[in-house]
């Protein structure tokens, strides 16, 4: 209802608003202008029957006239067109049936017109259900009257009134006018509605076209971003691989104490840079929904020792006391889960704790929250005595590229993605992070993670850990390396010489195939981005060789790319595994041993 409509309102503009549909506006207009026609027609009938001294018809027409005035006033005050429509149909039905059964006691052309009016008006105004109801209420009694009259069975002790020809003419003319008016009015409304629907459809088609174009641009933008990250990753990781690799080689060469200190600083800085690059790539991978979780066996105690080993050094360098406490029930316990993602979560939490703590303690705890035999729930806690977090900022610290304040970013550095990555990784596993913190006193991060327990006993731990300690078994390996970067070639030669391996180098994929056909090799380390032919195509060509032994040679991809689906591409190309540059020597050794050596350390080829 319009806010301008009031009791003394008579304007149709005050009872129609843009919020109403075209059909609802048409219904209100039909009632508003229709009341004028009905009023004139009923007033004419009232005068005609009054001068004919037809008492019942005079009373009926008089009551109808008053009802028309009242309903018109109600419409202009409260434009509730449904109620008004019901009222008019009830009045018309009562008048029609009373004329048939009481006043005139016959069915004439006027009766038929009134029934048609009721049918048309009820369907247009109130819809199919009410239209059917009012139609049957008017038609069935009239048909019943016809049957009774035909059998000469209808009789009431009241003499019917007889109207003259002028009254019949007035009634018929008024009924025709109203029928034509209703049809004309709704035809215009329906035509206008169809036109508006077409215009809306055209607008929708235009919007859909724009939306499709926007989606295409967004997808292209996302693809460009992914390709940009892949390119930047490759360009950054390639020299970084040389820095980390050479640092590892020089540390392995038993340097002097002062040299070792310098090399550790160099290695630590390179690892920090690698961590920043990895954070960006991991977050991009998480946001793209490309993260998958492994379910492999690992030793929780050894994993925590490895995670905290390097962090303890960082903490000691800052003068912090590092405390690692593992529940005795978890020592040497084999679990099924994703050690890589667990490492990533704990590493970020511990790094943050050390970064934001000037003095005091770092606590890392793991205790058994629930033990159901084949399933363990473990609570991990990382606590510090650092700067703490304001209560109002507890949620914002988990947003990407966000730290508690600009001052915090300037003072402590970092990308602000560590906690965002932690939260996303936990959410993907339906795990909630619990945080409590006080400014100036420190922070406490904890979460519960469930693990399945494998059937193997503690003394049946996988032999890969022992194999990592002994590289003698690979000294006789015949290794082909596909690498076009001279620095990386030099690095690989120096690294492999520590394991007494003399590799054969091929500078591109085409050359790899030629060399491989001429000689026998136990394993291939395949760089993916090379001139002439890339590593993917070279691997697929090797898998097609007619010699089954050669076609089945283990291939490890060496990649500095950041493509989200790199693992899937590597496997689809027929390669067995991949190592991301810069890599740790022990990681490469582990993968070589897993693919080439048997448990006792002898070549399986």
Show the 3-state SS of 586-603.
HHHHHHHHHHHECCCCCE
C-alpha to C-alpha distance for 541 and 160, rounded to whole angstroms: 106
Q: Is the pTM of this model over 0.75?
A: no
Is 459 buried (19+), middle (13-18) or exposed (0-12) by CB count in 10 A? Answer: exposed
Q: How far is it, in rounded angstroms, from Cα 42 to Cα 48? A: 10
- Burial label for 119, CB within 10 Å (0-12, 13-18, 19+), is middle
**Between the CA of residue 422 and those of 290, 385, 399, 416, what are the distances in Å?**
15, 20, 11, 11
Question: How remote is the C-alpha of 69 from its chain's centroid?
Answer: 58
CB 114 within 8 A of CB 175: yes
DSSP readout, 389-426?
A: --GGGTTGGGSTT--S-HHHHHHH---S-HHHHHHHHH
Rounded to 5, what percent of the chain is helix, strand, coil?
Answer: 60, 10, 25
User: Rounded to an integer, what distance in angstroms lies between the CA atom of residue 342 and that of residue 322?
Assistant: 19
| CATH 3.40.50.2300 correct for 467-596 | yes
Q: Which residues contact 106 (CB under 8 A, 6 or more apart)?
A: 100, 149, 160
> Residue 250 and residue 271: Cα distance in Å, rounded?
16
Q: How many CA atoms lie within 13 A of 470 on its CB side?
A: 11
Query: Which residues lie below 8 Å from residue 559, measured CB to CB, with a gap of 6+?
Result: 527, 528, 529, 535, 566, 570, 578, 579, 580, 581
pLDDT at site 21: 82
Q: Do domains 293-459 and 467-596 have the same CATH topology?
A: no
The backbone torsions φ and ψ at residue 272, rounded to the nearest 5 degrees and listed phi first, read -65, -40
Residues 286 and 345 sit within 8 Å (Cβ to Cβ) = no
pLDDT at 3: 52
Q: Which helix (H) or strand (E) holds 337?
A: strand 334-337
Sign of the CA dihedral with 240 first, then 246, 252, and 254 last: negative
Q: How far apart are CA 290 and CA 271, in angstroms?
A: 24
**Which residues have C-beta within 8 Å of that of residue 287, sequence separation ≥ 6?**
424
Cβ proximity of 598 and 479 under 8 Å: no
Question: Which phi and psi (to 5°) does residue 390 adopt?
Answer: -65, 145
Inter-CA distances, 515 with 193, 355, 454, Å: 76, 50, 44
C-alpha torsion 319→321→322→323, nearest 10: 180
- 584 contact partners, CB below 8 Å, separation of at least 6: 248
- Correct CATH for 293-459 of 3.90.1150.10, 3.30.720.210, 3.30.565.10, 2.60.120.260: 3.30.565.10
Q: Taking the domains of the chain in order of start, what are their residue ranges?
A: 12-163, 293-459, 467-596
Taking the chain (605 residues) in consecutive chunks of 10 residues, what is each chunk's mean pLDDT?
69 85 86 91 90 90 93 90 93 91 88 91 90 93 88 83 84 88 83 79 87 86 71 72 78 79 72 68 68 82 82 87 90 85 88 89 92 88 90 71 45 60 88 89 93 64 42 74 86 84 90 91 90 92 91 88 72 89 80 68 40
Q: What does each C-alpha distance from 436 to 246, 278, 417, 454 come to in angstroms?
A: 42, 28, 19, 34
Looking at 274-329, which runs of residues are DSSP E strands? 296-299, 321-326
DSSP string, 16-39: --TTS-HHHHHHHHHHHHHHHHHH
């Amino acid at each position: 209802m319009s806010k301008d409509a009031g009791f003394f309102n008579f304007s149709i503009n005050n009872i129609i608003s843009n919020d109403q549909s075209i059909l609802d506006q048409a219904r209100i207009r039909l009632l508003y202008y229709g009341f004028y026609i009905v009023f004139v027609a009923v007033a004419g009938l009232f005068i005609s029957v009054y001068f004919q001294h037809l008492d019942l018809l005079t009373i009926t027409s008089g009551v109808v006239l008053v009802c028309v005035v009242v309903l018109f006033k109600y419409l202009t005050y409260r434009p509730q067109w449904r109620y008004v429509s019901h009222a008019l149909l009830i009045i018309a039905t009562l008048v029609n049936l009373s004329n048939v059964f009481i006043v005139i006691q016959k069915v004439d052309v006027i009766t038929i017109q009134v029934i048609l009016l009721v049918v048309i008006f009820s369907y247009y105004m109130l819809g199919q259900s009410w239209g059917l109801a009012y139609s049957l209420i008017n038609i069935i009694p009239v048909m019943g009257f016809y049957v009774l009259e035909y059998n000469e069975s209808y009789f009431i002790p009241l003499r019917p009134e007889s109207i003259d020809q002028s009254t019949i003419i007035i009634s018929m003319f008024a009924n025709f006018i109203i029928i034509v008016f209703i049809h004309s009015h709704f035809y215009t409304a329906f035509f206008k509605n169809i036109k508006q629907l077409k215009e809306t459809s055209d607008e929708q088609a235009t919007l859909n076209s724009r939306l499709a174009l926007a989606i295409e641009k967004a997808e292209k933008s996302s693809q460009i971003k992914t390709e940009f990250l892949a390119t930047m990753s490759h360009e950054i990781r390639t020299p970084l691989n040389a820095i980390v690799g050479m640092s590892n080689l020089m540390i392995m060469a038993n340097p002097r104490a002062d040299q070792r200190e310098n090399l550790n600083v160099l290695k630590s800085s390179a690892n920090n840079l690698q961590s920043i690059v990895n954070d960006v790539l991991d977050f991009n991978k998480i946001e793209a929904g490309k993260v998958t979780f492994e379910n492999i066996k690992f030793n929780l105690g050894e994993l925590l020792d490895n995670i905290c080993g390097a962090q303890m050094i960082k903490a000691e360098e800052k003068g912090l006391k590092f405390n690692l406490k593992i529940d005795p029930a978890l020592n040497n316990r084999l679990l099924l889960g994703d050690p890589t993602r667990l490492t990533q979560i704990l590493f970020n939490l511990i790094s943050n704790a050390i970064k934001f703590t000037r003095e005091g303690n770092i606590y890392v705890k793991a205790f058994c929250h629930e033990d159901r035999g084949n399933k363990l729930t473990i609570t991990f806690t990382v606590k510090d005595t650092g700067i703490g977090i304001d209560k109002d900022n507890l949620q914002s610290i988990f947003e990407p590229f966000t730290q508690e304040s600009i001052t915090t970013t300037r003072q402590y550095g970092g990308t602000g993605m560590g906690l965002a990555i932690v939260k996303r990784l936990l959410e993907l596993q339906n795990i909630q992070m619990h945080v409590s913190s006080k400014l100036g006193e420190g922070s406490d991060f904890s979460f519960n993670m469930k693990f399945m327990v494998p059937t193997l006993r503690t003394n049946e731990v996988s032999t890969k850990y022992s194999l990592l300690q002994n590289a003698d078994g690979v000294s006789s390996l015949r290794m082909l390396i596909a690498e076009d970067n001279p620095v990386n070639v030099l690095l690989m030669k120096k690294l492999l010489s520590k394991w007494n391996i003399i590799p054969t180098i091929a500078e591109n994929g085409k050359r790899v195939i030629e060399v491989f056909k001429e000689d026998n090799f136990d394993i291939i380390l395949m760089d993916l981005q090379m001139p002439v032919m890339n590593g993917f195509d070279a691997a697929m060509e090797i898998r097609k060789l007619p010699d089954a032994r050669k076609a089945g040679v283990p291939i490890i991809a060496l990649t500095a790319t950041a493509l989200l689906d790199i693992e899937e591409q590597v496997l689809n190309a027929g390669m067995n595994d991949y190592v991301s540059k810069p890599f740790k020597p022990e990681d490469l050794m582990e993968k070589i041993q897993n693919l080439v050596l048997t448990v006792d350390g002898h070549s399986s080829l």
